[in-house]
Structures are given as C-alpha cells and as structure tokens.
C-alpha cells in the first residue's frame, strides 16, 4: 500500500488511515529484517515514538466534504505524505544522552505534571481491563482499536489466553497492521473486524453471552456521536459491560484551566464534543446502567487527560 499523493480531506479518519499506514511501513521493515515477535515489535514502535512523532502534510485547497457531499473551496487536504519528525524537549531542556526528551508535559486530576522519559503510561488501560475483567466475561472487544496496541498489551501483561479478543477498527491500515501483528502471535485469538462509531453494528460478535467492551481515545475522533449511540450498543442481545477511556473531562465541567484548554483544543480539531451528554441522556432514559464516571484519571498529553465512564446493559 502506498498512501503517497492520495489527496483527501483532512478528517480524523483520513489522518489515521495515513498514520497507521506509516506505522505499518515501520513494522513491515522490522518483520522483513527478521523480527517475528509481536511484543518486541510493539515495544520497538513505542520506543521509536518516544523520539519521533508523525507529521502529516496538508495543504489548503478545494475538495468535496465527505459528510455533506458539498464542494468546499478552502479546506485542509492531506497530501498523503507523512514523516517522522524528532520530538523536541519541552521547557528548554536538553535531550537525554539516549536521544529522548527527559520529560513530557502531562496533566492529571486537573494539575499539570511532568512525566519522565520511558514512563509506561500506555499500559495503564491494559492493567485496568485485566483487573476489571469478570470471570464470566467470554470476550474482550476494543472499538476503534488502531493497530490493537491495548489488546496486545492486555494479552502480554497477563490477560486471559482462552478468550477471543475482538480488534474492531474503522481504518483499513489499522486493521491490516493488527492482522500482521496477530499473525506473529499464535497464543492470542485476535479477530479483526470493521467498526464505525457513527453506525453502531456489533453483528460480528459470535456466541459469547457476556462481553467486556472498551474504547480508548477513539470516540474522541468523532465530533458528534449519534444520540442513540449507547442504546444501540446496549441493544446487542448479550450482557455487556463497557468502559470508555476517553478525554471528555471538559464535558463534565470546564471550570479549571486544563478543561478550558481541552475544550478549545477539541473545538479547533473537530474532536468529540457530545460524548458525556449522550451518555447521561442514555442513563436517564434507562437505556444503560451507568455505574462510574472519573474525570481526568489518566495522564495523556497536557490537554488531553483521559476520563473514564463505565456502564452495563444488565
């Protein structure tokens, strides 16, 4: 696959199609060089991303809006070119002798924090899921899983071996990379499926009657989820528990400086603005049983801390 010179409107979905394709290229080069262990490869990719971030080129131009179908004279268009650029140290500090910035700026429970290089924040979600899983859960599902990073982490950090892991994702390149990594690991039952938050369909689930579903910073990429989003998920004829690890703190309350800045960032980037309202409405209507909400519980970049919501349909 070559995403080069495929001009498309700069939507979050088109961005991720390109971003996962670029990571697929990186992983394929490791596999071609003889790497055959998915855990090693994911860690090598994560280490690469400590030093480099992906930058996708975009230009202003005329294109058709993918949602309305209207031709727009001036919109940001992805050119298909993307490159890895060095992550710059913050606060005028020097790079470590390893080549990584010494800290990254983050926030947690409403305060800014500095996190040391190599701190493994990316595994927090996997630890949550492993500890939260119930003995009766017969499958684990991530909706909007990218290349399945969280699911692989759950497996490698001691999650159950005898359950199917459903890797549900919107982009073709994300699904392709998940499948490539899963093919290297015979002890994980990974099932790669299509999923669109704008059109909920869990028809791919098989006979399992009790299921743990989670999302991690994927609903964030959909400006407005449908009003029926949670009712549509809850309607699946199975017992489901859902945990959302999403950056919706500013939607709970926006009276602190982190939440105010988060709101501005989300408006500017066309990221999600209605998760919490739709969630509360579903709980009030009795479509779901909302059990827990935690604001800004996991550090994830200064203005995108992760909040958590848990609900079930039984």
Ligand X SMILES: C[S@@+](CC[C@H](N)C(=O)[O-])C[C@H]1O[C@@H](n2cnc3c(N)ncnc32)[C@H](O)[C@@H]1O
Residues that bind ligand X (CB under 6 A): 12-13, 16, 144-146, 149-150, 169-171, 174, 195-198, 216-218, 221-222
Contacts (Cβ under 8 Å, ≥6 apart) of 232: 200, 226
Radius of gyration of the chain (CA): 20
CA 207 – CA 41 distance, rounded (Å)? 32
CA 124 – CA 122 distance, rounded (Å)? 6
Contacts (Cβ under 8 Å, ≥6 apart) of 3: 17, 18, 21, 22, 80, 82, 173
The answer to whether residues 191 and 34 touch, using CB atoms and an 8 Å cutoff, is no
Q: How far is the CB of 245 from ligand X (least distance, A)?
A: 8
Block residue for tokens 């209605």:
274
Sign of the CA dihedral with 43 first, then 181, 15, and 299 last: negative
Q: How far is the CB of 216 from ligand X (least distance, A)?
A: 4
Q: How far is the CB of 11 from ligand X (least distance, A)?
A: 8
Measured from the CB atom, the residue of 221 and 259 that comes closer to ligand X is 221
Q: What SS3 state is found at 165?
A: strand
Measured from the CB atom, the residue of 220 and 296 that comes closer to ligand X is 220
Measured from the CB atom, the residue of 23 and 138 that comes closer to ligand X is 23
Q: How far is the CB of 149 from ligand X (least distance, A)?
A: 4
CA 62 – CA 82 distance, rounded (Å)? 20
Measured from the CB atom, the residue of 166 and 195 that comes closer to ligand X is 195
Q: How far is the CB of 150 from ligand X (least distance, A)?
A: 5
Measured from the CB atom, the residue of 16 and 303 that comes closer to ligand X is 16
CA 83 – CA 98 distance, rounded (Å)? 21
Block residue for tokens 């991690």:
216
Q: How far is the CB of 48 from ligand X (least distance, A)?
A: 15
Measured from the CB atom, the residue of 224 and 256 that comes closer to ligand X is 224
Measured from the CB atom, the residue of 19 and 288 that comes closer to ligand X is 19
Strand partners, 164: 189
Q: How far is the CB of 255 from ligand X (least distance, A)?
A: 26
Contacts (Cβ under 8 Å, ≥6 apart) of 77: 7, 8, 9, 10, 58, 59, 60, 61, 63
Q: How far is the CB of 177 from ligand X (least distance, A)?
A: 10
Six token digits for residue 154: 């759950």
Measured from the CB atom, the residue of 195 and 303 that comes closer to ligand X is 195
């Amino acid at each position: 696959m070559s995403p080069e010179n495929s001009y498309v409107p700069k939507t979050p979905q088109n961005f991720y199609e390109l971003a996962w394709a670029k990571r697929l290229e990186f992983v394929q080069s490791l596999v071609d060089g003889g790497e055959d262990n998915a855990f090693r490869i994911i860690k090598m990719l994560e280490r690469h991303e400590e030093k480099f971030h992906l930058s996708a080129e975009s230009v202003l131009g005329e294109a058709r809006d993918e949602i309305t179908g209207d031709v727009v004279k001036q919109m940001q268009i992805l050119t298909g070119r993307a490159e890895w650029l060095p992550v710059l140290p913050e606060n005028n500090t020097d790079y470590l002798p390893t080549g990584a910035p010494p800290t990254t700026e983050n926030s947690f429970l409403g305060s800014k924090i500095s996190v040391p290089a190599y701190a493994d924040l990316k595994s927090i979600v996997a630890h949550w899921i492993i500890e939260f899983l119930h003995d009766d859960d017969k499958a684990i599902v991530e909706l909007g899983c990218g290349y399945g990073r969280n699911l692989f982490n759950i497996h490698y950090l001691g999650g159950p071996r005898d359950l199917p892991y459903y890797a549900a994702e919107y982009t073709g390149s994300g699904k392709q990379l998940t499948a490539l990594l899963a093919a290297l690991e015979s002890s994980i039952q990974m099932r790669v499926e299509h999923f669109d938050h704008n059109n909920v369909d869990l028809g791919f689930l098989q006979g399992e009657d009790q299921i743990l579903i989670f999302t991690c910073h994927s609903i964030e990429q959909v400006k407005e989820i449908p009003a029926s989003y949670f009712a549509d998920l809850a309607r699946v004829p199975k017992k489901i528990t859902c945990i959302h690890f999403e950056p919706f703190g500013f939607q709970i309350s926006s009276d602190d400086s982190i939440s105010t800045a988060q709101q501005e960032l989300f408006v500017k980037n066309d990221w999600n603005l209605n998760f919490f309202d739709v969630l509360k409405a579903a709980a009030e209507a009795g479509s779901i049983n909302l059990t827990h909400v935690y604001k800004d519980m996991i550090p994830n970049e200064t203005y995108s801390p992760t909040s958590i919501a848990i609900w079930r349909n039984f």
